[in-house]
Amino acid sequence: MADAQQTTGTESVAHESELKRKHEWVTLTEKGTYRCWDKAYMVLSGNTMTCYRERKKRRDHIHYEPILSLANATCAKALDYTKRPYVFRLRLASGSEFLFQATDEAEMESWIAKIGLVTEAKPSAAEMKESTKKLHQNEGFMKQDNVTDYSPPPYQP
């Protein structure tokens, strides 16, 4: 299933397994152009994540994507995403945002913990849900499939 090793220091944090992935946002204001769920073999090495089509073909990046830098990234369980189980959200410093689906709760928690070891900001899942809602509301975008409990503020003349 997943190969993992961990010692002290962010360079030695390593984790890898097959996940399903959805690219929600490219930047703070631009939605992903291909927002379907893909199977991907994800590799966490130090403070970077790399996406491959499958374990055997680590040289083939899906969609020729660059390696994801996790510096100042946030990662937490996606409490507001209820369409699939075991989903966590990764938001990069650039504003790019991904959803990942693990095979079970333990794998999801393992990914969140490993990514948390190498990121500087570690919000709780509730904080991440609220900040995602506010971010896209302030930008004039509402992600209807991800915001289930939003109600507009009361009108104040």
Q: Residue 41 contacts by C-beta under 8 Å, 6 or more apart in sequence?
A: 16, 17, 18, 51, 52, 53, 54, 55, 58
pLDDT tops 90 at residue 125: no
What residue numbers bound the domain in which 15 lies?
3-138
Could you tell me if residue 157 is inside a domain? no
Could you tell me if residue 150 is inside a domain? no
- Kindly indicate the confidence band of residue 142, based on its pLDDT and cuts at 50, 70 and 90: very low
Could you tell me if residue 148 is inside a domain? no
CATH, residue 41? 2.30.29.30
Average pLDDT over residues 21-37: 88
Could you tell me if residue 144 is inside a domain? no
User: What's the DSSP call for residue 62?
Assistant: G
- Kindly indicate the confidence band of residue 27, based on its pLDDT and cuts at 50, 70 and 90: confident
Domain count, the chain: 1
Could you tell me if residue 47 is inside a domain? yes
pLDDT tops 70 at residue 3: no
Could you tell me if residue 44 is inside a domain? yes
* Range in 4-8, 38-42, 57-61 with the lowest mean pLDDT: 4-8
Could you tell me if residue 145 is inside a domain? no
pLDDT tops 90 at residue 54: no
